[in-house]
Chains A and B, each alone.
Chain A
Amino acid sequence: MKEWLLGYLFNEYPPIWISSWGILCLLTGSVVILLVILRSRLIKTRKIQLQEKFREEYEALLTEFVFDEEEYEVGEEKYNALVFRLQRAAKNDIRREVLVATILFLHHDFKGAPEKRLVRLYQDVGLEKYAFRAIRYGSWYEKAFEFTELGQMQVNHGLPLVLNYIGHYSTVLREEAQFAAVRMGGVKNLEYLSELNRSVSDWQQTRIMQELDQFPLEDIPSFYYLLDAKNDSIIVFGLKLISKYRQLDNPDKMVGLLWHENLDVGVAALSALVAIDHFPVADDLPNLFYSHDEQFQPEVIRAIGLLGNDSHIPFLEELLQRNDYDLVMAATKALIRLGYTLPANTTLSSYNKEIYKHARYELIP
């Protein structure tokens, strides 16, 4: 080492040797950090290059497999050779990542025979065992991705593993596991919902309902069991499902929910009763009207208009006299639906008469 440097490093004055050693450490550290950054950058670039190369390889291979059914007949020699080749490839992390992504992409965009062939190939290659491993030992985002993968590839025997996460504290994991459970086991697996303590968001409910559209109507079970759940969001979801599929098994159970302490449950129960045209509930609706606040009352009046009869007209006429725009508007619409016409000698205020005209125009333009 140069003498002048040694002179600084082992100088007798502390300020000089401390700052010399400091500068030396700083420089060495910077070089080390730079080397680490360069190395990781090189690894990343190499990974991207490999991904691109494998993507091209698997895109061509899988496209050929999916669309050339005669060449790659399941169980035949060429198919078995393909499975063997992919099994070997799957042992490499990057190859497997690209292979799975390609299978999922093709599966997502094509339906019919390609869909079934891809599921069969995925399962024959045994890619689900890597997914199971990632669910057991991977980080949260790997788990969430694998739930989607297993759901899309209908790996039904992975359901018990997925069910462990349906009540997880992490919202992402919980929602992905719930969604995958529906996809993997069909509608039967909605039973898990009645056991859930955590609420199911509107978005998640919509996703599940949309997924249920994939199932034939004859496979859809009665959802009345969800009305016994302790979780209010599940009861609301159950009511939405009953309403969507117009299930008539036990409407009285829904009538009981009209007086539920949670207003959302009451509103959903009323909507479901309207959706299934449960006319007997109409006689309970005036009582329901008086037992709830103004937030719920217009909904009740709307239901009377759809389910009620002539006997409800005096009740609605009385509401026409109120000094509340929402109530008068709802009552007018209900009356019009019941075939009522405002008498010429009406005692309504001019303001309420205007509301009546407006509602009439909205319903009968």
Chain B
Amino acid sequence: MAEPLKPASVLYFPTLEAIVGYFAGKNKIMGKKILVAEDEKMMLKAIAFKLQKEGYDITTADDGRQAMELLRSGDFDLMVSDIMMPFASGMELVTEIKQLGLKTKTLLLSALGQENTVLKAFSLGADDYMTKPFSPNELLVRIKKLIG
């Protein structure tokens, strides 16, 4: 017969290992740099807010040309980009990343009915995509899967 549960008689102190592990996990996210490229300003602000809140280091670009310049000058772990943008599309950005030999992962955002474009983006080397409208929590899960 199982013994009845007894109330805890000692206080629980987290081990040093647990404390280090906790901060290491937080730092792991905090060190990650993400470039968000989206021409719809409200969408851009919303995504940036959500990711910043999670502790990512966010840089934003509101058109393809700006995103291209930032990609060349910065070292990003991930680029979250809309496919359709002025000056340079999300696919052109993916091509640029591959041509520059960057290790930046790419997650593309597409509107419904752009399946062919998405397939083309994958063939160019995109790592993941999401269709608008999307759940911000799902976006986070996918980002964590790509860059931790």
Contacts from A to B (Cβ < 8 Å): 59-60, 63-64, 66-68, 102, 105-106, 108-115
Contacts and interface: CB of A to CB of B under 8 A. Distances in A.
Contacts of A60: 45
Interface of B: 40-43, 45-46, 49-50, 53, 132-138
Contact of B42 (A67, A105, A111, A113): A105
Contacts of B40: 109
Contacts of B46: 63, 66-67, 106, 109-110
A66 B133 CA distance: 15
Nearest to A112: B135
7 contacts: A60-B45, A109-B40, A109-B43, A110-B135, A110-B136, A112-B138, A113-B137
Given A106-B42, A113-B137, 7 more contacts: A63-B45, A102-B42, A109-B134, A112-B135, A112-B136, A113-B135, A114-B135
A108 B41 CA distance: 14
Instruction: Name the prevailing secondary structure of the A interface residues.
Output: helix
A344 B135 CA distance: 63
Contacts of B135: 110-114
Nearest to B40: A109
A110 B49 CA distance: 14
Contacts of A67: 46, 49-50, 53, 136
A68 B137 CA distance: 12
Q: Which 7 A-B pairs give the minimum distances between C-beta atoms?
A: A112-B135, A111-B133, A67-B50, A63-B46, A63-B49, A109-B133, A111-B135
B42 to A, nearest CB: 5
Nearest to A107: B133
A64 B49 contact: yes
Nearest to B109: A109
A60 B133 CA distance: 20
Contacts of B45: 59-60, 63
A110 to B, nearest CB: 6
B133 A110 contact: yes
Contacts of A105: 42
A99 to B, nearest CB: 13
Nearest to A66: B46
Contacts of B50: 67
Contacts of B137: 112-113
A113 B136 CA distance: 8
Residue in A67, A68, A115 with the greatest tally of chain B CB atoms within 10 Å: A67
